[in-house]
Amino acid sequence: MDFLRSTISNIRSVGSGYTLLEYWPADKQPALWKVRSAVRNADATPCTVWLFEGADAKRTRMAQNAVKRLRTISHPSIVKYYDSTESSATIQLVTERVYPAETQGQSPESLLLGISQITKALDHLNSNNIVHANICLPSIVASESGLWKIAGCELMASVTDFDVTSHAAALQLLHHDSYVPPESAHVSVTDTLVVCIDSYGLATLIYETFSGIPPAGPAALVNAPAVPSSLKQLLAQIGHPQIQRRRPVRAFLKAAERTAFASPLIAFVESLDVPPPYQNLDDWTHIIDEYVSYATQLPAGFAQAKILPALLSLVANATTLQPSVFVAITDIVVASQSINEAQFDRDIAPAYVKGFSMRDRTIRLSLLEALPRIIDRFKQRTVADRIFYSFITGFSDSAPAIREMTVRSVVALATKLNDRQLNGDLLRHLARCQSDPEPPIRTNTIICLEKIASYLNKSSRPKVLANAFGKALRDPFPRARLAAVLSFKEVAEYFSPNDVAELVLPALSSALLDKDAKIRANVKSVFELYYRKVLDHSETLPDISELDAPALGSAKATDSVSTTPQSETAGFWSTFATSSISKGIGMISGDISDTNSEAGLRSETSTPFSSRPPLRQAASALSIESDRSYSATPKEPTESLARKTGGLSLKPSKRADKLKKEDLLPKKKTISLDEKIDDDDSSAWDDAWE
């Protein structure tokens, strides 16, 4: 019931203005607040909601003071105030999106960067006669850029209004004794020394940041082995147990800027905040180079929040760019896990689309190299509609490096293409690449086809792969031939037994005689793999034979077939011979006469052309096809025909002897597939792959 009442109270106070998200981890929650992430509905701005619940008067005054101070103070290293509401039972504070500051797993340079940010914020407060009075690691948060900021403003006050005697009790209410300065409740502190309370808090922060635990007292600040040597002496000065001898924050900052804070990383981060923002391409090129060198030292989220927006703006507004711009964008996007799909489509994808449309070869090369690392973040429609048609121009580029990198990038791009682009446009370009004058490009084309084979159309895939790999087996470059053999091995699952017998084995058989011994050895193993596949399939076929049916001759011939193998062969051929001759005789119309006689000539010349049998039909009659006669006259026994012809021999006439089927058909030049490929390779591949 209490949980329900609390939830309803939260909803009422937040209203419809915010969408509440996850809470901070329990061990990271501040003493007074319940903190959770949220999103402002009006503009989708990420934010953090701090909720105070309770009736204790002291705690309520602290929470109210925190809201009041954050509303009136503005500094880059102090949490930014957005909104607040207060009721009789709750106080709600809304700030920019922040997270608990993390020290584990951070580089020493990154930790020094955080300390420098907090020191500058404290110096700003003390210079305006304000004391924070609650500086410790639990009061430090990290922004989305990973930079540290000051929170925990519950005890913040002006120097003149600060009550030193109640400070110790207030700190103990929020934390524990480790953060209480030794002078609290014991020494009368003048207004000029009040700011030194923040010096002691900064000392405890530095100690815990590098040691991992709060200090056990002022003595621990003097001997801190985990603290960098450049800070040890300064740490002892700002953590001195006597407030009169303690150095203020400003003195510490000036000394640290000459030693511990004189870091190239800190200088690089601060340079990004210098107005006006960089507009010159050369300036940004220098910044990108620095970012690459400091990438491992920067806090998580820094590049995404500080560098990426500026780079994207540069791409959108510039007509010329350096390749390093897209390299940096890719590195940032890959490293930034918090970039959601909507943000990527809105802000980042347009930059890559514009990059592919540029004519600069160095930019295209950097994009092609980055594509495999980032392609998964793109929507399929973005790649197919806005990138692909610019991408394929690289296949015909005059620079071999662009052509080769384009071929290699196909593997990453294939999953984002539609069927027409993949099985049509892309395959045509790859077919042309197989005739590229550069041997590495031809080799990588085969490797590319093998890797994208699973995405190709199932019906056309066997022919496409067999034609491509088969042609590569005849490539003069040995590595291209070896790539074809190994690719045949990798794609064996995509060939049916019939495909193997018709497409694969004929191509591999010629490669068994390759002049390279290593290639021959690989061909042999791959050939045996496919040959075994065919044999295994043949064993599953029905165990029947059409040769067992008595359909080729008379019963007498059938009897002879069943005697011995020799008689079987003789009967087979004789039956076909008799059938063929009888068909030929049946097709001849008119009388058989001597070709030298006058009557024969007269008979031949007097026969109208329309009454003669068609030439194509006559050619069919002379071939051994079937027992059916195409003549209108019925068959007659051989003896009867002899009587009618006056005992003439049944040998074919000289004219019939010279007559061939090829002579009767229209003359047509026969071009083999290899000749066709050699003459016009790209069109032949187009026909084969489609």
pLDDT digits (tens, 9 = 90+) for 482-528: 999 999 999 999 999 999 999 999 999 999 999 999 999 999 999 99
Q: What pLDDT, on a 0 to 100 scale, did the predictor assign at position 185?
A: 56
**Average pLDDT of the residues in 602-611:** 40
CATH of domain 2-99: 3.30.200.20
pLDDT range class, residue 607, cuts 50, 70, 90: very low
pLDDT range class, residue 282, cuts 50, 70, 90: low
Q: Is the pLDDT of residue 624 over 50?
A: no
pLDDT range class, residue 172, cuts 50, 70, 90: confident
Q: What pLDDT, on a 0 to 100 scale, did the predictor assign at position 669?
A: 46
Using an 8 Å Cβ cutoff, are 360 and 394 in contact?
Answer: no
Q: Which residues of 365-388 are buried (b: 16+ CB within 10 A; e: fewer)?
A: bbbbbbbeebbebbeeebbbebbb
User: What average pLDDT does the structure give for the chain?
Assistant: 80
Question: Is the dihedral angle over the CA atoms 41, 307, 363, 453 positive or is it negative?
Answer: negative
**Average pLDDT of the residues in 454-461:** 95
Q: Is the pLDDT of residue 444 over 80?
A: yes
- 19-23, 262-266, 330-334: lowest mean pLDDT where? 330-334
**Average pLDDT of the residues in 451-476:** 96
Site of tokens 């990038």: 409
* Single-letter amino acid code for the residue at 94: V
What is the C-alpha separation between 320 and 326, in angstroms, rounded? 12
Q: What pLDDT, on a 0 to 100 scale, did the predictor assign at position 595?
A: 39
Query: To the nearest 10°, the Cα dihedral for 120, 124, 126, 128?
Result: 170
Distances (CA, A) of 61 to 6, 67, 85, 94: 21, 10, 15, 18
Q: Which two tokens stand for residue 91?
A: 């106080």
Per the CATH hierarchy, to which homologous superfamily does domain 109-267 belong?
Transferase(Phosphotransferase) domain 1 (1.10.510.10)
Q: Report the alpha-carbon angle 531-532-534, nearest 5.
A: 65
622 or 212, which is more confident: 212
Q: What pLDDT, on a 0 to 100 scale, did the predictor assign at position 652?
A: 46
Q: Is the pLDDT of residue 657 over 50?
A: no
pLDDT range class, residue 410, cuts 50, 70, 90: very high
Delimit the domains of the chain by residue range.
2-99, 109-267, 290-378, 380-484+653-690
pLDDT range class, residue 290, cuts 50, 70, 90: confident
Helix or strand (DSSP H, E) at 427:
helix 427-433
pTM of the model: 0.66
* Single-letter amino acid code for the residue at 689: W
3-class state of residue 212 by DSSP: coil
Which CATH class name applies to 380-484+653-690?
A: mainly alpha
What is the C-alpha separation between 199 and 205, in angstroms, rounded? 10
Number of Cβ within a 10 Å radius of residue 460:
14
Q: Report the alpha-carbon angle 94-98-101, nearest 5.
A: 140
Number of Cβ within a 10 Å radius of residue 271:
13
Residues linked to residue 157 through DSSP beta bridges, in sequence order = 131
**Average pLDDT of the residues in 306-332:** 83
What is the C-alpha separation between 384 and 667, in angstroms, rounded? 47
Q: What pLDDT, on a 0 to 100 scale, did the predictor assign at position 14?
A: 52
Q: Is the pLDDT of residue 217 over 60?
A: yes
pLDDT per residue over 562-591, tens digit each?
444 444 433 434 333 334 334 444 444 443
Helix axis angle, 349-357 to 323-335, nearest 10°? 150
pLDDT per residue over 78-133, tens digit each?
999 999 999 888 999 999 999 999 998 888 999 999 999 999 999 999 999 999 99
Using an 8 Å Cβ cutoff, are 96 and 305 in contact?
Answer: no
Number of Cβ within a 10 Å radius of residue 303:
23
Using an 8 Å Cβ cutoff, are 446 and 484 in contact?
Answer: yes
Using an 8 Å Cβ cutoff, are 179 and 204 in contact?
Answer: yes
519 or 681, which is more confident: 519
Q: What pLDDT, on a 0 to 100 scale, did the predictor assign at position 315?
A: 85
The burial class, CB within 10 Å (0-12 / 13-18 / 19+), for 572 is: middle
Question: Is the dihedral angle over the CA atoms 345, 347, 350, 356 positive or is it negative?
Answer: negative
The rounded percent of the chain whose pLDDT value lies above 90 is 54
Q: What pLDDT, on a 0 to 100 scale, did the predictor assign at position 168?
A: 82
**What is the DSSP secondary structure assignment for residue 32, as one 8-state letter?**
S
Distances (CA, A) of 361 to 194, 322, 393, 400: 63, 11, 11, 11
What is the C-alpha separation between 84 and 67, in angstroms, rounded? 7
Site of tokens 């009442």: 5
What is the C-alpha separation between 201 and 209, in angstroms, rounded? 12
**What is the DSSP secondary structure assignment for residue 392, as one 8-state letter?**
G
Q: Is the pLDDT of residue 481 over 90?
A: yes
Q: Which two tokens stand for residue 115?
A: 């300390």
584 or 205, which is more confident: 205
Using an 8 Å Cβ cutoff, are 155 and 134 in contact?
Answer: yes
What is the C-alpha separation between 463 and 345, in angstroms, rounded? 38
Question: Is the dihedral angle over the CA atoms 98, 103, 109, 114 positive or is it negative?
Answer: positive
**What is the DSSP secondary structure assignment for residue 76, as one 8-state letter?**
T
Q: Is the pLDDT of residue 603 over 60?
A: no
pLDDT per residue over 218-248, tens digit each?
889 988 899 999 999 999 999 998 888 999 9
Q: What pLDDT, on a 0 to 100 scale, did the predictor assign at position 620?
A: 38
Coarse DSSP helix, strand, coil percentages of the chain, rounded to the nearest 5 percent: 60, 5, 30
**Among 300, 233, 292, which residue's Cα sits nearest to residue 268?**
292
3-state secondary structure 233-287: HHHHHHCCCCHHHCCCHHHHHHHHHCCCCCCHHHHHHHHCCCCCCCCCHHHHHHH
Using an 8 Å Cβ cutoff, are 684 and 459 in contact?
Answer: no
DSSP, residue by residue, 622-635: HS---S----SSPP
Distances (CA, A) of 494 to 319, 505, 522, 532, 533: 47, 14, 19, 15, 12
**Average pLDDT of the residues in 22-36:** 94
Q: What pLDDT, on a 0 to 100 scale, did the predictor assign at position 402?
A: 96
Q: What pLDDT, on a 0 to 100 scale, did the predictor assign at position 184?
A: 66
> Is cis: bond before 614, omega within 30 of 0?
no
pLDDT per residue over 250-280, tens digit each?
999 999 999 999 999 999 888 887 554 555 5
3-class state of residue 690 by DSSP: coil
Q: What pLDDT, on a 0 to 100 scale, did the predictor assign at position 341?
A: 87
pLDDT range class, residue 334, cuts 50, 70, 90: confident
606 or 197, which is more confident: 197
175 or 364, which is more confident: 364
196 or 314, which is more confident: 196
**Among 225, 322, 231, which residue's Cα sits nearest to residue 280?**
322
**Among 586, 568, 567, which residue's Cα sits nearest to residue 626?**
586
Q: What pLDDT, on a 0 to 100 scale, did the predictor assign at position 551?
A: 53
